[in-house]
Structure formats: structure tokens, C-alpha cells
Amino acid sequence: MSKVPRAVAYIDLKALEYNCSSIRGRLSPGAGLLGVVKADAYGHGAVEISRKLESIGIDYLGVATVDEGIDLRSGRIAKPVLIMSGLFSWDEVEPVARYDLTPVVYDRVALAKLTGATQGFARPLKVHLKFDTGMGRLGFHPREAGDIAGMLVRARGIHVEGLMSHFPVSEVRDDYGLEQVAAFRGVIDTFRSAGFDPAYIHMSNSGAIVNYPEAHFSLVRAGISLYGSHPSLSLEASLPLRQVMKLSARIAFCREFPAGMSLSYGRTFTTGRPSRIAYIPVGYSDGYPRSLSNKGTVLINGTRCGIVGRVCMDWTLADVTDAGPVNSGDEAILLGEGGREGLRVSANEMAEHAGTIPYEILCKISRRIERVYV
């Protein structure tokens, strides 16, 4: 008997390619594209996504940790890889060099230690220096640029390949963001005056690709948009994208209930009419958010059906009373395009209902769900 999976996350590599070219279509001349594939490519599978990105000419890849970078190298990914959260321990310096990974450096103590540790290296270690122009997270203060450049002029073991910064808000264009761009330009000028010529200068994530074209510099870092979601629904019209992940499950069984029957934990839903309920074998342990209880929708038989009652650890209930003939074995689409033109459940829509962001929706689809690449 061939195995029919209870649920599958289909990863549409053509949609990924479409999103890449849509993003590239927005870039200022001379800007390259870094694909952010941290957190297992936002739940899509880092090696498979990177392989596809590599085949369509991505310029750089970005992960959070050294281990994530090593995973890419073990998967035979050859493109440059930026370690965006930098190094967490000195044991990581040797593997970073061995696997040809490029760490981001954002504090003086680490920079001083790294300068010492790399002195004897056969090849200088490439680094990107991060400046905090207003994010309030990682980075040197722009005022420190002169000092840092001075420290590095004589550091033989370190090659400043990149300068970077990050926006806390890029879904809208505002004065705060423009001041950040100005501050970052000051940093770039300081480094150039000190004789540095970094190949990669980057600041923009998905939102800034649309809202801050002057901040595309020589590279942009696209994450969520690669996977087909917008950092905010207000950007939908400006950047056409296709949802890369489709989360699909087989309905396990259907049951008929009279009016007045309460369903699932907590008895938070009571049928208001004679109802047919489909039982979908996916729950919050698969990463389907419990906060979609009585709020989310799924696509069944080309119809949008409401989630009823609490989402359980392994089960979700949908009201299919108005969906025509629905039976066990039929497909329920929890995320993605479904059946009819224009009918889809996007990660943005799920996030709105669940009170979160599409990033969290995608990253949390658990590894219990098999990824199938199409």
C-alpha cells in the first residue's frame, strides 16, 4: 500500500523563482540579492531553497548561526554565506574560516579578539561590520566608525568585505528611516576615506526593497518576500509575490452534528445548525497556530471553510456544511492556493487572524510535516 501522507508542505520552487525575479525587478542598478535562508529558510528547508537560489544566480546567502552556515556547506552550497548573528564563541573562528563563512561583527570586544585570532591565518577572514543606525539591537554606533576603521587599517588577518545596517521599520517610509540611511552613508564615507572599499554595502530587507530604493546600495537582504509573503499587507500591490509553501492535509473523516452540539476542548464552539464537520489531522504540534481556533479558514472542495472549536495538538475541525460533497481523504488546504482562481489562504492572512506576523507562521510549521519540493 503506498503511503498517503496525512499532511505535506509542498514547496513550489517555481514560485520562489518568480519571487526572486519580482524582487530583482525592484532593485536599483548595481544592487545584488542576498537570500535570507536562516531558520531553515523560514521553514522551507535551507539546503533545498539555497540550492534553487544558487541555480538562479543568487549573489549571497544569509543565515543566523555558524551551524546553519555549516549545514549549507555540508549540502554543497558554494555561494558566499553571511553569518548574520555573528560568532557566539571563540571555538567558532576556526570552522568559520574552514567552511569559508563570513561572520558579521558588531562589537568592539569581538572585533579586537578576532583581529588577534586571525593574525596568523593564511587568508584574511572576510567580515561584514554592522552599524546600528537606529534598530537598537546589534551594531557599532555610527560615531565609532572612525575608530573602528582605524583599528582595522593594520589588521592583516581581517578583510572588511561588507558594511551593513538594519531598519526596525521598513514597511513604511518615514523620517526615522531616512535619518538611518543618512547615518549609514556617514559610516560608508568614513570607511572609504580610511582607504576601505567594501564590495558589499547593505541595509534593506523586504520592506525597504520597496520603500527605500536609495538604501539598496550594492546588496539587499530579502527574506520573507522570497517566500511569497509581504512584511505588511500594505505592500501587496507594490511587489507581486507567490506563496511558496502550500500546507495540505487529507481529511481523516467527517461527522454530522445536530444544532446545539459543542465541539472540541473548552466547548468554545456550539453548532448553530445541523452541521457537517471535517476532521483535519494537523494541530498546533505541527505548527498550525492554536490562536486560529474559531478564527482561521481552510480551503476544502474549492470553498473557504471556517475553523470551529479549539485547534488541538493533532487535530483541527472545519465546518464543511456549505462546501458540497466532502469526504475522508479529500484535501484540506491550510495554507496556499486552493482549487479556484484567486482562492487562497496566505501566510499574511493567517498571521492577521492569529495576531502574529507571517514570519512566525512559516518558521513554526514543524518538521513533523514532510516538505515536498515541486
Distance of CA 360 to the CA centre of its chain: 9
How far apart (Å, rounded) are the C-alpha atoms in residues 339 and 114?
Answer: 55
Q: Which is nearer to ligand PLP, 38 or 126 (CB)?
A: 38
Near ligand PLP by CB under 6 A: residue from 162, 223, 287, 296: 223
The piece of 90-98, 222-230, 257-265, 365-373 that touches ligand PLP (CB under 6 A) is 222-230
Q: Does 224 bind ligand PLP (CB under 6 A)?
A: yes
**Exposed/middle/buried for residue 329 (C-beta within 10 Å: 0-12, 13-18, 19+):** exposed
Q: Which of 221, 246, 276, 344 binds ligand PLP (CB under 6 A)?
A: 221
Other Cβ atoms closer than 10 A to 57: 11
DSSP state of 124: P
329: left (phi over 0), alpha (psi -120 to 50) or beta: left
Residues in 148-207 that interact with ligand PLP by CB under 6 A: 166, 205-206
Using rule CB under 6 A, residue 216 touches ligand PLP = no
Tell me whether residue 228 or residue 338 sits nearer to ligand PLP (CB atom). Answer: 228
Three cell numbers, residue 363: 518558521
- How distant, in Å, are the alpha carbons of 165, 213, 372 from that of 74? 29, 35, 20
Contact set for ligand PLP, span 81-110 (CB under 6 A): 84
**CB of 317 vs ligand PLP, minimal distance in Å:** 32
Angle at 233 between CA 231 and CA 235, to 5 degrees: 75
User: For the chain, how many residues are written?
Assistant: 374
Contact 221, 205 (CB under 8 A): yes
Judged by CB under 6 A, the residue of 80, 231, 287, 296 near ligand PLP is: 231
* Binding of ligand PLP by 36 (CB under 6 A): yes
Q: How far is the CB of 359 from ligand PLP (least distance, A)?
A: 6
Rank residues 7 and 36 by Cβ distance to ligand PLP and give the closer one: 36
Contacting range for ligand PLP; rule: CB under 6 A; set: 117-125, 220-228, 283-291, 322-330: 220-228
267 and 43 Cβ atoms separated by less than 8 Å: no
Q: What are the catalytic residues?
A: 38, 265
Interface residue list for ligand PLP (CB under 6 A): 36, 84, 166, 205-206, 221-225, 231
